[in-house]
Chains A and B, each alone.
Chain A
Amino acid sequence: MTFEAFAGQTLAGVSLGMVWFLIAAGLSIIFGTLKILNLAHGSLYMLGSFCCYQVTVSLAHVAGNFWIGVLVAPIVVALVGGVIEVFLLRPIYKAEMIYQYILTFALVLIIGEACKMIWGVGYHSVQVPWPFQGSIGVFGLSFPSYNFFLIAMGPLVFIGLRTLINKTDLGRNIRAVTENREMANALGTNVPRVYTGVFMLGAWLAGLAGSLWPPVSVVALGSDMAVVIDCFIIVVIGGLGSLAGAFVGAIILGLTTAFGLYLIPKLAVAFGFILMIIILLIRPYGLMGEPE
């Protein structure tokens, strides 16, 4: 492998990993607090993509329409998430795991079909926005500047979330509820409101990822499950419920995928899973997770 190829794979792997991180972070925070594994998280991501696409189309002649989309779409997704949490998830927190899985699976069906009814089948495209249209040369290799932007987004969001959780009232409440739900409740924390808040935050992150990825790829149905399975791997590698774990896991999976594709494309799809199995066997709760 040449140095150029090495650099190219690394950059590609990390930029993909950073988008995954946004989704996985939401998935992980939701699991950490609500103890629900949200199968529909990929659907929220897809919804974000479609919403962002819609904004770019509706405001086709407005400068910076993509950035408006990035602002608006995650909020729409967060609101949808709020509705889901209040009306559908709240009644089943005490139910067994399987009911929660199947309910979120039903949401996958519903959101997928709703997207199809609203935006139709076919491939939609969102253009690379100003000012990231061109490429930047590094290590003798030219690489799209938008990917550098994505790479930068990961740590930014990570730091933002850390600050939110460690420094704000909402964060304190989240930590309290995550730590000990009954205790937090007894001490006067409004637990249901924290749950809703956390789910909306997770949905917002998925929506953000959904808005940011289309300029690199396409907006199409079916992206929901593809992405959620990758994010499962990430959170399991990193440790369910751990933000730092999601960050590390996303980079690891991004790099594994990029280099796996390069070296043994035939089995690349299985690499992530194999990695996940190995890590689970060595570290039962993931790299950064803690035993429950």
Chain B
Amino acid sequence: MANGMNRISWLGTSPRNAFMLAGLVALLVLLPLFLGQSWLSITTEMLILALAASSLNIMLGYTGMVSFGPAGIYAVGAYTTGVFMEKLGIGIVPAVLAAPVMAGIIGFLVGWICVRRSAVYFALLTLAFSQIIWTVVFQWYSVTGGDDGLVSVPVPDFFFEITNCYYFMLAVVSVCLFIIWKIVNSPFGMTLQAIRENPNRVEFIGVNVKHYQLASFVISSVFLGIAGSMHCVFSGSAFPDYAYWVKSADMLVICLLGGIYNFFGPLVGTVVYTVLTKVISEYTMHWHLVLGGIIVLIILAMRKGVVGTLANYWANRKSAAA
């Protein structure tokens, strides 16, 4: 299946990389100075989406589990925060903290069943669970607001100021990404990648593959829950759409656009996807057609995604020069 090229790149510790990282952080911190409010708001959304896609990629890229249902868990996070604040009158801090806990619990229950099956059955089970979550959200009118969703979550006015919201999200997302980074590059993360490459061999050396897959599922769920919760804080609302399969497809496409065998893939994928859909839909009402065409092209021509393809290009140039 995957060959050596697909190994997930290590973050080197050379001064140049540290410099790049510092530059990136500085750019993001200074962004509000030269970005208009509307684009800043879109960037904030991108941060949240990037976190969601990176969470999914723990399963997808690192453990090799194709989930069709990340949106279900994402919605659990969003609705936990939303329901706590709007319906139960609980403050924002406990409401936000409850989201990853709830998402983790649901993720454990769903994951416990799903990891019993592999490949296509796993994918379809995750789809089934996310659609069940969608049904519950859609039908449980008294709690979730049904098809109208929760629209007046009493988020403090502080977050309505887009610059504040942006910095808050930047902080939360950076911390989460850092933790994800640490996890996937720990020995535990290495085992996940080994499972992706060859589950039988890993099982053979005495590792309980199912336990690791479940752990990956739960960790992914926890971060998806945080992303969902942040979305609720950002928009002051939660909608059944969050749990719908279309949202899952969006996340999968984002991971794929950026490249799933790369920590930065989902981040870049988010930027590309958001800008792409926005730009295309400004020019044509038939944006589905264009988007579909682009996805087909990417799969046929640059399957490693944007980051993977560029990384390979550089590697090749370097070896050619040497």
Question: B127 at interface (Cβ–Cβ under 8 A)?
Answer: yes
* CA gap between A267 and B253 in the complex, in Å: 30
* CA gap between A270 and B138 in the complex, in Å: 11
Chain B residues with CB below 8 A from A95, complex form = 299, 303
- A92 and B296: CB pair below 8 A? no
Question: A236 at interface (Cβ–Cβ under 8 A)?
Answer: yes
Chain B residues with CB below 8 A from A91, complex form = 300
**Among residues 273 to 300 in chain B, which have CB atoms less than 8 Å away from a CB atom of chain A?**
286, 288-289, 291-293, 295-296, 299-300
* CA gap between A107 and B289 in the complex, in Å: 9
Q: How far is the CB of B85 from chain A (nearest CB, A)?
A: 26
B residues neighboring A (CB under 8 Å):
1-2, 60, 66, 68, 113, 116-117, 119-121, 123-125, 127-129, 131-132, 135-136, 139, 245, 249, 252-253, 256, 260, 286, 288-289, 291-293, 295-296, 299-300, 303
Chain B residues with CB below 8 A from A96, complex form = 1-2
* CA gap between A98 and B256 in the complex, in Å: 8
Please, which residue of chain B has its CB at the minimum distance from the CB of A40?
A: B292
**Among residues 102 to 148 in chain A, which have CB atoms less than 8 Å away from a CB atom of chain B?**
102-103, 105-110, 112-114, 116-117
Binds B, one of A185-193, A197-205, A246-254, A273-281: A273-281
Chain A residues with CB below 8 A from B117, complex form = 280, 284
* CA gap between A99 and B128 in the complex, in Å: 20
Question: A229 at interface (Cβ–Cβ under 8 A)?
Answer: yes
Most buried by A among B119, B128, B129, B256: B128
Question: A53 at interface (Cβ–Cβ under 8 A)?
Answer: no
Partner of B135, one of A106, A112, A267: A267
* CA gap between A194 and B296 in the complex, in Å: 23
Partner of B291, one of A31, A109, A225: A109
Q: How far is the CB of A85 from chain B (nearest CB, A)?
A: 14
- B135 and A233: CB pair below 8 A? no
Given A113-B288, A114-B289, decide whether A105 and B249 contact each other with a Cβ distance below 8 A. Answer: yes
- B1 and A106: CB pair below 8 A? no
Partner of A97, one of B123, B128, B289: B123
Q: A102-B256, A113-B288, A266-B139 are in contact. List 19 more A-B contacts (CB 8 A).
A: A91-B300, A92-B300, A96-B1, A96-B2, A98-B66, A98-B260, A99-B256, A99-B299, A99-B303, A103-B295, A105-B249, A106-B296, A107-B292, A110-B289, A110-B292, A110-B293, A229-B127, A277-B129, A285-B121
Given A99-B299, A101-B123, A110-B293, decide whether A117 and B286 contact each other with a Cβ distance below 8 A. Answer: yes
Q: How far is the CB of B142 from chain A (nearest CB, A)?
A: 12
Question: A161 at interface (Cβ–Cβ under 8 A)?
Answer: no
- A229 and B119: CB pair below 8 A? no
Partner of A109, one of B1, B66, B121, B289: B289
Given A92-B300, A98-B252, A225-B245, decide whether A270 and B132 contact each other with a Cβ distance below 8 A. Answer: yes
- B128 and A284: CB pair below 8 A? no
Beta-carbon contacts of A227-241 to B below 8 Å, as 1s and 0s? Answer: 001001100100010
* CA gap between A285 and B119 in the complex, in Å: 12
Chain A residues with CB below 8 A from B286, complex form = 113, 116-117
Q: How far is the CB of A242 from chain B (nearest CB, A)?
A: 14
- B252 and A102: CB pair below 8 A? yes
Chain B residues with CB below 8 A from A232, complex form = 124, 127
Question: A170 at interface (Cβ–Cβ under 8 A)?
Answer: no
* CA gap between A105 and B286 in the complex, in Å: 16
